[in-house]
Amino acid sequence: MFRSLKLKRSIQSSITNHHQNPRFSQTLKPLISSPTPQSNPFFFLRQFSSSPPAPPPLSDASSTSSELRKYLGYSALFLGCAIGTYYSFPFPENAKHKKAQLFRYAPLPDDLHTVVNWSGTHEVQTRVFLQPESLEELETIVKDANEKKQKIRPVGSGLSPNGIGLARGGMVNLALLDKVLEVDKEKKTVRVEAGIRVQQLVDVIKDYGITLQNFASIREQQVGGIVQVGAHGTGAKLPPIDEQVISMKLVTPGKGTIVISKDKDPELFYLARCGLGAFGVVAEVTLQCVERQELVEHTFVSNLAEIKKKHKKLLNDNKHVKYLYIPYTDTVVVVTCNPVSKWWSPTKFKPKYSLDEALQPIRDLYHASIETYRGQSVATSSTAENESKVSDLTFTELRDKLLAMDPLNKDHVKKINEAEAEFWKRSEGYRVGWSDEILGFDCGGQQWVSETCFPAGTLSKPNMKDLKFIEDVMELIEKEEIPAPAPIEQRWTACSKSLMSPASSSSNDDIFSWVGIIMYLPTTDARERKQITEEFFHYRHLTQARFWDQYSAYEHWAKIEVPKDKDEVAALQARLRKRFPVDAFNKARSELDPNRILSNAMLEKMFPLDGNVST
C-alpha cells in the first residue's frame, strides 16, 4: 500500500505539473493524449486493486506497463542493495544490545574537560577546571568566582568512589600546589600545600625520620582531600586521618583566607577539619607526625568462631589489625602490623609456599574457566590472550579477569572466592617494611563500594556488635544468593573529635568499626557495567534496610551514594540530622560560602539550604 501511494503521488505530480515544465511535455504526451487517465488520476493505482478495471486503449496500456516496470525495477534494486549491505557488513553478535547514541563520538570542544573518578562510576564535563600554581592565584580565583557566582568545587585526585568532588559547574584542583613548606623535626610536625599527594609527602619527610601516623589503602590521595572526607586506616588505638590535622589554612569566598586550629577558632576547626570541601578551599595543612619505624606484618587465616574467642586481644595487642572475610566460605584473613622488636628475625619465619604456589589455585581456575566460557562471547577477549602472560598477572588482576567472564553468576563468583580463600591460606606468613610500604592494600580494579562506620564499644570492653554485623551480612548474602566477591573488609579506628566524622565521639575510649562491601567492574562493556551496578545497589539496599539503623551505621563520606528518589533523599537528610550537627554545618557554610560556589548537587541534597540544587 505504501508503494502504491508513492507511485500515485509521482504520477499525479507529473500530470499536474507538466504544463509548468516544458521539458516534460514531450515525455508526458502519450500520457495526457488520452482522456482516460486525465479524467481519472487514480487510473494507474487500479493495477494493485482486487477487481481489475476495464481494459484501456492499447497505447495507454503500453505506457502504463512501462511506467510500472520502471518503478518495480527501482524497488527491486533498492531491496537488493539493502540485503547486500546487511550480509556484507553484519552487526557484531556481542553488540546487538547496544543502542545508537547520536554524537557520542563527536569531538569535544577544546575548552570542555571530562573528569572521571578512579572507579569510573562518576563523570562530569565542565568548561571550568582551574589549577592555580600559588596561594595568591588561588585567592584571586576564589574571589573572582564568588563575585561572578561561578562554581569552583574543590576536587582532589578523584579517588572517592562517589565522586564527591565533582561538579559540572566548575572545579578547582590543587595538584600544582604540592610543596612541603616546613618540617619541625623536634615536634614531628609538617606543614604542606594541600595538593601534595600522600606518597609524595611520605617520601620527603622520611629523610627527617618521621612519617604519618596511619594510612588509607591508597597513597595517591591529595592531603586536602583525604582529610576533608574523613579517610582512615586501621588500628583500634589510632583515630581517622583528620585527627592528625593540627591547623588548616582555608581560602573562603565569604571571609577570605583564614587559619584555624584547636587554639584559634576551635569551634570552626573541629567542624571544618572533616568539612567535605564546603567551607573553603583547603590551601595548607599542618600535620602531627610520628617517628618512622619498620613494621612486621603477620597474615594468617582463621574463622569467625575462632575470631570471637580472641577478638578483644587482637584489638588490644596490635597497633594495626584488619579482617578480610570471604563470602560463601568460613575463611577470615587476619592481618596485623606491629613495630619490629629485638627478637624478630626473618630466618625464623620462612613462608611455607612460594608466591607461584600461592597463585596456583586461581591460575588453575582461570584456565578451567577459559575452557568453560570458550564458546561464549563474554570470554572472547580472554581466550584471545597470550596465555603465557598469565604467569605475570597479580592475584587481583587474575580475579578481575575471572570475574569479567561472568560477573553476576553466583556459582562462578563462589568458585573465585574459594580460590581466593586458598590463596590466602598459602600466603600465611610475615613480612617486614616501613609503615608506608606495609599498610597499603591492593584494592583491585574499578569497583562499587559501600563502607559503613558504627560504634563497637570501647577498647577495654568491645561490644562484639562488629562481629555480629558481619554474621548478619554473610547470612544475608547466602540467603539472597548475592554474587558477592571478596573481600568484605573490616577495620577499626579510635574516635575522632571532628564533628562531621562518622567516627565522631566525645568519649576518648570509644572505638568504631568500618565495614566495606564491594562489587568489581572488571569489564568495559556498558551493558554489563549497568547490570553490575544494579546488582550492587540491590546488595547495598538490603544491607541498608536491614542493618544500618540497627547498628547505628553511617556511610563513609567518600562512599555515600545519594539517591535520586525524593522520598529517599528526604529520609537520608533526616537520618544525617540524627548523627551530625547539620544546622551548625549549614550555618558555617552560609557565612563562609554565601553564594555556594564550593557546593555541588551531592552536598545540596544532603544538606539543603533552600529548595535549589547546585550542579
Q: How many CB atoms lie within 10 A of CB 394?
A: 12
Q: What is the dihedral of CA 172, 178, 181, 184, to 10 degrees?
A: 120
Alpha-carbon gap, residue 140 to 495, rounded angstroms: 37
Alpha-carbon gap, residue 52 to 50, rounded angstroms: 6
Three-state DSSP at 324 gives strand
Residue found by looking up cell 580472641 in the block: 310
Output the pLDDT for position 374. Answer: 78
Residue spans of beta strands (DSSP E) within 108-148:
113-116, 123-126, 129-130
Residue 385 has pLDDT above 80, yes or no: no
Distances in Å between the Cα of 431 and the Cα atoms of 81, 397, 437 are 69, 22, 11
Indicate the helix (H) or strand (E) that contains 567: helix 566-579
| pTM for the full predicted model | 0.80
Output the pLDDT for position 303. Answer: 97
Output the pLDDT for position 263. Answer: 94
**Residues linked to residue 510 through DSSP beta bridges, in sequence order:** 458
Output the pLDDT for position 119. Answer: 85
Q: What is the mean pLDDT of the segment spanning 544-555? A: 97
Q: What is the mean pLDDT of the segment spanning 319-341? A: 95
CB-CB contact of 570 with 603 (8 Å): no
Residue found by looking up cell 558504627 in the block: 454
Residue found by looking up cell 570552626 in the block: 268
Output the pLDDT for position 452. Answer: 97
Alpha-carbon gap, residue 125 to 190, rounded angstroms: 35
CB-CB contact of 254 with 593 (8 Å): yes
Q: How long is the chain?
A: 615
CB-CB contact of 141 with 132 (8 Å): yes
Distances in Å between the Cα of 401 and the Cα atoms of 94, 359, 534 are 18, 14, 20
Q: Radius of gyration (Cα) for the chain, nearest Å?
A: 34
Alpha-carbon gap, residue 550 to 548, rounded angstroms: 5
Residue 376 has pLDDT above 70, yes or no: no
Residue 598 has pLDDT above 80, yes or no: yes
Higher pLDDT, 48 or 163: 163
Phi, psi at 38, each rounded to 5°:
-70, -40
**Residues linked to residue 458 through DSSP beta bridges, in sequence order:** 510
Alpha-carbon gap, residue 322 to 489, rounded angstroms: 7
Lookup: cell for 133: 600554581
Per-residue confidence band for 3, with pLDDT thresholds at 50, 70 and 90: very low
